[in-house]
């Protein structure tokens, strides 16, 4: 028994010495990946085959999680980080949205199946508090502009076809992604962020 306790103590000391990164969770809230692929508001009620685990609920992770390596250098003192692997179909959803990325630019059209948002609820609840990005969530910083379009955060469109704070964000192409959502320091303010990191086949 003494040897076992000594071994457990040494293992605990080793983990502390290695500086194992803490999981950055928001204890008061749950977060869900949603969009056309998840049935929009139905994402908070979707259950997997065992009837228990919510299909689209996001997982809190540490800043050292390998799934977010692509944005690790962009994270400045994050206070929460959530991830969820999502699959965005190349099939036609039957609707689309078009945006000009800058004033006077040609329109880029996104199919509805590429729409991506994040829902916040109270912990273990299904009622959305906000949909990010949106007027209730506040500004969301886009950490992966090469793969993800996030409309500008203004109540009124700052230029023709720019979109605004109520417009849907979109992946730039179909595929499998790690959706990342969290909060960190940005310009000396706590700021929400999103990212879409392509998952290698």
Question: Tell me: the pLDDT tens digits for 35-61?
Answer: 999 999 999 999 988 888 899 999 999
How much is the pLDDT for 18? 54
Asked if the model's pLDDT at residue 197 lies above 80, the reply is: yes
Single out the residue of 149, 122, 131, 144 nearest to residue 195, CA to CA.
144
Residues 88, 114 contacting (CB under 8 angstroms): yes
Question: Tell me: the pLDDT tens digits for 1-22?
Answer: 444 333 433 344 444 445 689 9
Question: Tell me: the pLDDT tens digits for 106-133?
Answer: 999 999 999 999 999 999 999 999 999 9
This prediction has a pTM of: 0.90
Single out the residue of 137, 129, 168, 128 nearest to residue 41, CA to CA.
128
CA distance 86 to 188: 31
How much is the pLDDT for 16? 41
Specify the residue for token string 């605004």: 164
CB burial of 172-186 (b: ≥16 within 10 Å; e: otherwise) equals eeebebbbbbbbbeb
Question: Tell me: the pLDDT tens digits for 118-174?
Answer: 999 999 999 999 999 999 999 999 999 999 999 999 999 999 999 999 999 999 999
Cα end-to-end distance, the chain, whole Å: 47
């Amino acid at each position: 028994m003494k040897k076992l306790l000594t071994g457990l103590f040494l293992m605990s000391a080793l983990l502390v010495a290695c500086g194992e990164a803490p999981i950055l969770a928001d204890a008061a809230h749950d977060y869900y990946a949603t969009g056309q692929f998840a049935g929009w508001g139905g994402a908070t009620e979707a259950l997997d085959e065992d009837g228990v685990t919510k299909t689209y609920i996001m997982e809190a992770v540490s800043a050292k999680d390998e799934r977010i390596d692509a944005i690790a250098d962009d994270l400045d003192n994050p206070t929460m980080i959530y991830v969820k692997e999502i699959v965005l179909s190349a099939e036609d959803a039957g609707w689309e949205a078009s945006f000009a990325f800058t004033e006077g630019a040609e329109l880029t059209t996104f199919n509805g199946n590429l729409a991506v948002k994040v829902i916040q609820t109270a912990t273990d609840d299904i009622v959305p508090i906000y949909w990010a990005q949106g007027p209730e969530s506040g500004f969301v910083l886009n950490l992966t502009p090469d793969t993800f379009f996030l409309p500008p955060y203004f109540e009124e469109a700052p230029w023709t076809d720019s979109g605004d704070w109520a417009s849907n964000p979109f992946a730039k192409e179909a595929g499998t992604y790690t959706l990342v959502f969290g909060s960190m320091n940005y310009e000396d303010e706590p700021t929400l962020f999103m990212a879409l990191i392509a998952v290698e086949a």
